[in-house]
């Protein structure tokens, strides 16, 4: 639905019924899955990638971890996404360094 900015909706019972039924159903649960990319230094091979992936995967909410060893980046998908502190701890546990 689109209307020019500032235009008033026609005041009809029919439209009011539609609008109020939309409002009534607005309690639908919407899951927002977010992704963030971080830099990790010290990774040189698939072994490193596996170690980092394993540790980050343990964090609450994390659903996917994608490690790019060559680029030194890790893309994390989660709901909610872990913050810097738990990520730093997980990466440190794996033996590498969280670099932002
Ligand atoms: Cu390695």
pLDDT digits 0-9 by tens, 29-72: 666 679 999 999 999 999 999 999 999 999 999 999 999 999 99
Tell how far the Cα of 61 is from the centroid of ligand 1, in angstroms. Answer: 26
DSSP state of 42: S
Distance 93 CA to ligand 1 centre (A): 14
Nearest of 69, 72, 67, 62 to residue 34 by alpha carbon: 62
Alpha carbon separation from 6 to 3, 15, 18, 23 (Å, rounded)? 8, 17, 20, 21
CA of 49 to the centre of ligand 1 (A): 7
| pLDDT value for 33 | 76
Q: Does pLDDT of 1 surpass 80?
A: no
31 CA to centre of ligand 1 in angstroms: 35
0.95 surpassed by pTM: no
Q: Where are the domains of the chain?
A: 34-98
Distance 46 CA to ligand 1 centre (A): 6
CATH class label, 34-98: alpha beta
Residue 23 has pLDDT above 70, yes or no: no
Helix spans in 11-83 (H): 13-24, 46-57
- Ligand 1 mean position to 33 CA, how many Å? 29
pLDDT band at 8 (very low <50, low <70, confident <90, very high): low
């Amino acid at each position: 639905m689109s209307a020019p900015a500032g235009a008033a909706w026609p005041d009809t019972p029919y439209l009011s019924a539609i609008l109020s039924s939309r409002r009534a159903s607005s309690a639908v649960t919407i899951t927002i899955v977010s992704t963030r990319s971080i830099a990790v230094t010290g990774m040189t091979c698939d072994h490193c990638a596996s170690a980092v992936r394993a540790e980050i995967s343990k964090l609450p909410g994390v659903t996917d971890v994608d490690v790019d060893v060559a680029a030194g980046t890790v893309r994390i998908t989660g709901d909610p996404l872990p913050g810097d502190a738990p990520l730093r701890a997980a990466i440190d546990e794996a033996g590498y360094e969280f670099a932002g």
